Structure 1
C-alpha cells in the first residue's frame, strides 16, 4: 500500500471536485485529485452554463406525480422516466414522494435559497482571484411565456419566489421585445432575474481552474476508485492503480458517489441520476444577450463562446443506458418556435450527462467519519455549476474547522440515517472573509 503524504485526496474531477481542489490548494493544503476520466468530461462538460440562483424550488412537488403517466409514455417529454428503470429507481421515488410534504418542501426551498444566495458572490470572488472574471457574464437571465394560462402561472410563480426572497422583475411584452429582439410576437412577457449570470464556456472554466491548481501544487492521478474503508489513522482507497492510504478524503464524484459513501461512511445515501441533454449550435453565437428559458417548453438557451447552447429536460434512466439523443435534437424545434427567424443548426452537436440527484434536491456538504477524515460534496443535481464555488468555500471551512454563522445542517449526511457519534461535527463553518 502506498502511503500518501497529502493533506487531502479529492475523488472527482468535475466542477465540484476541481473547484474544491483549487480552493484547498490555494489555501495551502497539499491535495491529490483522483479522476478516472479526463478532467471536466462528465456533467460539467455540457451543463447549461446558467448560474441559477433563482431556482429554489425542489423537484419534489405534487405536480411531478400528476405527470407520472406522461413521464412513462412520452420518451421526449421534459420530464422522462424510462419504464425499464422503474424497479431500480422505485425506492428513490418513494423518498421523493415523502419530500412532497409541505414542511419538507419548505425545508428544501430554505436550503436551496441559503446556498444560492451565496453562490454568485462566491463565484465573483473566486473568479477574481483566479483572473477569470471574463468567464462570467453578469447580465441576468429571463424566463418567458407564450400562452395566457402560462402568463397567469408566471405571475403566480413570481409571488412564490417573492415569499422565498428571490429577486425577480416582471417584464411586459413590450419591454421584453425591446430587450430581446427576434422573439415571436406571441411571447407575452417574462420574469427577469438580475441576480443570475452565465458562464461563457463551462468546460474551459473547469480546465482553467484545474490548470491553476496544478500550478499551485495540486497533484492528479487518473484512476478509478471502487471502494475503501476508514482506518484509525487514515482512509484506505481501492483504486485501479492499487491501494492508497489517505489522511483525509473528499468524495465529489457526482452521480457515482453513492457506493463510496456507503463503504466509507456506512450509510446508504439515496442518490440517483438525472440525465440532462444539450444541443450545441456553433452557427448561432449572437442570437441572445442573456440566458433565456421557457416556462411552457421547460428548456433554456444560453449564449456561449462556442455558440448557442440549448439545454434542459430531466430523464431518469440510470447510469448505464445509452443516451437517447432525440431528446437533445428535440430542443431545436422548441428554440425554432420562439424566434421569427429559423435557427441555423449547421454543425449542431448533441450531448448527454448524468447529474447526481437526491430526493430533497439538496446536496450533501459534510465532514464525517472518525476524526472527521471523510468530507463530502455531492448531490447538487442540476445546480452543480451554480453552487460549486460556495461549496468549495464550505469544504474549506469544514477542513479548517473554523466556526461561522452559516448553518449547514440542511446539507448534513445524517438526514438520510443515523450516524455514530464519532461521525458528527458541529453545524457551522467559516466562509473565507467572514467574521470569527
Structure 2
C-alpha cells in the first residue's frame, strides 16, 4: 500500500507536532515554512503549558477596564494608532462571545483540549526522545492589590471549572518561591501545569527527531494553496501532495481564503524580554494585576506578555518589551538588569474571537486545518495534532471536534 504524502504548511509547534503524528501514522511528510522551524511565535512564547487557562478571553469583566487600558500607551493592552478601524470587526465578534451561553460553550471546548494536553505532550515527547523538555513543577498566579477574599473566590472558580488549584497565603507563597516580593499578598497554585526551559529548543528537538524519521523540511514563502493539495512558493517552486494541512499560525487566514473560507483571524502581538540573569524561580509566575509572566529559562529569565493589535507585518515597538523589566522587578526585586538590557522579541499569536482554534477538515477532502490557538498554541499542540490525525485517518476523534470546525464562521 502506497504511503500517503502529507504536506504541512507551517513549521511552528503546531505544524511540528502534526508532522510527528502523521509520520507515526505512516505518512510521507513534508513541512514547508517561510522561516526555519520554530522561528515564529513558537520561538518566543513564555514556555508555559497553561492548562489552567480554560476561561475564554472574551470576558465582560474586561469592558469597564478597556478605556483606561487603551489610554495607557505602555499598558498590557494596546491598539496601535490607526489600526482601530481595521480591527473593529474582530473586536465586535469578540464582544459577541461575551454572552453567558457563548462563554459556557467556548469554555467547555477549551477545557476539552486542555484536560488532555499534559498527557498528550508526555506521550509525544517520550516517543520522540525529548521527554526532558517538559518540567512538571506547576505554576503560580500572584496578587498584589486584590483582596484576599477575591483571590479565594477566584480559586473556587477555577476549582468549579475542573482546574486543580489551591490558594496560598503570603507565607505559603514565600516558602514555595522565596525570591518573590514580600509585597505579594497571596497566589493561586496550579500543581498540574508545566513549562519548558527552552521553547525554541523544544522545536529544534522535534525537528531533529522528525528528520531522523525521514520527514522533509522545505524553506520558502507559500503564496498559494489549492483544494488538490498543491502549494506554490514565491520562488516558483510547486509542491504536490495527497493531503494538505494548513498550520501557518497568523498567516493561515490568507491560505484558508484561497480554499473558500473567510476566517476572522487576528495577529495578536505578544512581546518578551529575555534577561541573562537567573531568576531563582522554580516555575512560571504570572501576575494577576500586571498581566505578564516570568518563566525560568535555560538561558536566564524570560518576561513575557502584553497584547498589541497593530497588524501582522507592522514593525515591533521595543518599548512594549522594555516595560516588562519594571513589571518584573516589581515581583522579583533581585533582578538587576538595567533599562535597555536584554533581548527584545515580538511574535504574532493567531487569535480568533471565540478563543477556540480551527481543527479539522473541510469541504475539500484533501485539505485540513490546525491554527488559531491564540495564547495556548504550546499548550494545545500535542492534543490538536492527535485529534487532527484521527480525523485524517477517518477515525472518530476522542472528543467532539465540531466546536473547532472552520465552518463555524
Fold-level match, TM-score > 0.5?
yes
Secondary structure at the aligned position of 1:84 is classed as coil
Q: What SS class does the counterpart of residue 94 from structure 2 fall into?
A: helix
Q: Residues 283 and 347 of structure 1 are in contact (CA less than 8 Å); yes or no, is this contact kept in structure 2?
A: no
Aligned match of 2:189: 192
Matched with 1:251 is 246
The answer (yes or no) to whether the contact 1:71–1:81 under 8 Å persists in 2 is: no
Cα separation, partners in 2 of 1:63 and 1:81, compared to 1, 3 Å: farther
Tell me which residue corresponds to 1:429: none
Q: Specify which of 67, 70, 86 is matched with residue 69 of structure 1.
A: 67
Q: 2:292 matched to which residue of 1?
A: 299
* Cα distance, 1:16 vs structure 2: 0.4
Corresponding residue for residue 413 of structure 1? 406
Q: Deviations over 1:186-243 (max 9, x none)?
A: 211111001100011100110110121111011121121122322xxx3332222333
Asked if 1:399 is matched to 2:392, the reply is yes
d(CA) in 2 for partners of 1:133, 1:75: 41
What SS is found at the alignment partner of 1:293? Answer: strand
Are 1:12 and 1:35, in contact at CA under 8 Å, matched by a contact in 2?
yes
Cα distance in structure 1, aligned partners of 2:346 and 2:131: 28
Where do residues 73-92 of structure 1 align in structure 2 (5 Å cutoff)?
Answer: 73-92=71-90
**Offset, 1:246:** 2.5
Secondary structure of 2:83 counterpart: helix
Whole-Å Cα distance in 2 between the matches of residues 287 and 344 of structure 1? 15
Residue aligning to 1:171: 168
Q: 2:357 aligns with which of 352, 363, 382?
A: 363
Structure 1 Cα separation of the partners of residues 254 and 300 of structure 2 = 37
Question: Equivalents in 1 of 2:154, 2:99: separation in Å?
Answer: 19
2:210 aligns to what? 213
- Structure 1 gaps, min length 5: 417-436
Distance 1:25 1:275 in 2: 32
Hey, what's the Cα distance between the residues in 2 that align with 1:340 and 1:277?
21
Alpha-carbon distance between aligned partners in 2 of 1:379 and 1:389, rounded to the nearest angstrom? 14
Distance 1:159 1:219, change over 3 A: same
Moved over 4 A (4+): none
Structure 2 CA distance for aligned equivalents of residues 395 and 405 of structure 1: 10
Aligned to 1:425: none
Deviations 1:304-338 (A, max 9, x none): 11111111111111112111111111111111112
**1:347 CA displacement:** 5.2
Select 1:181's aligned residue among 165, 174, 178.
Answer: 178
Is 1:374 matched up with 2:356?
no
Between the aligned partners of 1:185 and 1:229, the Cα distance in structure 2 is 58
Instruction: Return the match for 2:99 from 84, 98, 101.
Output: 101
**Residue 388 of structure 2 corresponds to residue 390 of structure 1:** no
Measured after TM superposition, the shift of residue 367 of structure 1 is 1.0
**Structure 2: how far apart are the matches of 1:226 and 1:106?**
38
What count of residue pairs does the alignment treat as equivalent? 405
Q: Which deviates more from structure 2 when the two are superposed, residues 24-33 or residues 137-146?
A: 24-33
Classify 1:14/1:342 alpha carbon distance in 2 versus 1 (closer, same or farther; 3 Å): closer
Answer with 67-76 or 96-105: which moved more: 67-76
Cα-to-partner distance string for 1:379-408 (whole Å, 9 max, x where unaligned): 000100001111111121111111244111
- Please tell me the root mean square deviation across aligned C-alpha atoms, in Å: 1.6
User: Any idea what the Cα deviations from partners look like across 1:63-112, whole Å, max 9, x if unmatched?
Assistant: 33323323432221111112311111111111111111111111111111
Which residue of structure 2 aligns with residue 318 of structure 1?
311
- 2:362, 2:407 within 8 Å by CA — same for their partners in 1? no
- TM-score norm. by structure 1 comes to 0.90
Say if 2:361 is the partner of 1:354.
no
**1:301 partner SS:** strand
Structure 2 CA distance, aligned partners of 1:204 and 1:194? 24
C-alpha change, 1:289 and 1:59, in structure 2 (3 Å) is same
Does structure 1 residue 203 correspond to structure 2 residue 197? no
